[in-house]
Amino acid sequence: MAAEVADQLLEIQAIRLQPSEPFTWASGWKSPIYCDNRLSLSYPEVRKMIKEQLVKSIQHYFPNVEAVAGVATAGIPQGALLANDLDLPFVYVRSKAKGHGMQNMIEGKVVPGQKVVVVEDLVSTGGSSLKATQDLLDAGFEVLGMVAIFSYGFDLAKENFEKAGVKLVCLSHYEAMLPRAVERNYIADEALQSLSEWRKDPSTWNPK
């Protein structure tokens, strides 16, 4: 499934690979990859496939789920789709509290003790994702874990999730995507080493 999801994301250019002309992230890191899974929402067949696989993941790994929480902003539409299919309540977590009105951090009905699964579109270092889980915990929810469409597979993210005690389930990941990108001629064989080195240490990576 990881390879199939990667195929679909590459085909619709939700994943773009430019090892010779890297992107620059907000952190300042140079990156040969840019992943925007929001594009999948514009392709009904891909959207449906992703939704069905995320639903299956939740049913398998988190069968006691009682609510779904999306992480703003890209996790909101995905989470709403899943909650609808699972016939469960839906809430979403803001990146920061609303600046007026009720000044909510979490939008939707907060039910202390409710077992919730968090939905993300993309996991990089895990910082913003785990902040959302902490906001849910602070509000009284019981966080069962998180599902996401794609992960870069950084060791730092693995460490962060393990330290937080949050189970992470991703449909696809960087290591599953690379060989498919070569097979589909999105990148050349000679770019593989550089792309593999980037994932090991993105903060010091330089394109060659």
Going by the annotation, the residues of the binding site are 94, 98, 100, 120-128
Euclidean distance between CA atoms 168 and 172, whole angstroms: 12
Strand 23-24 relative to strand 67-71: parallel, antiparallel, unpaired? unpaired
Q: Which residues are annotated as a binding site for 5-phospho-alpha-D-ribose 1-diphosphate?
A: 94, 98, 100, 120-128
Euclidean distance between CA atoms 170 and 121, whole angstroms: 9
Spell out the residues 6+ positions from residue 72 whose beta carbon is closer than 8 angstroms to its own.
Answer: 92, 93, 94, 95, 132
Q: Which residues are annotated as a binding site for orotate?
A: 124
Q: How many helices (H) and strands (E) does the chain have?
A: 7, 10
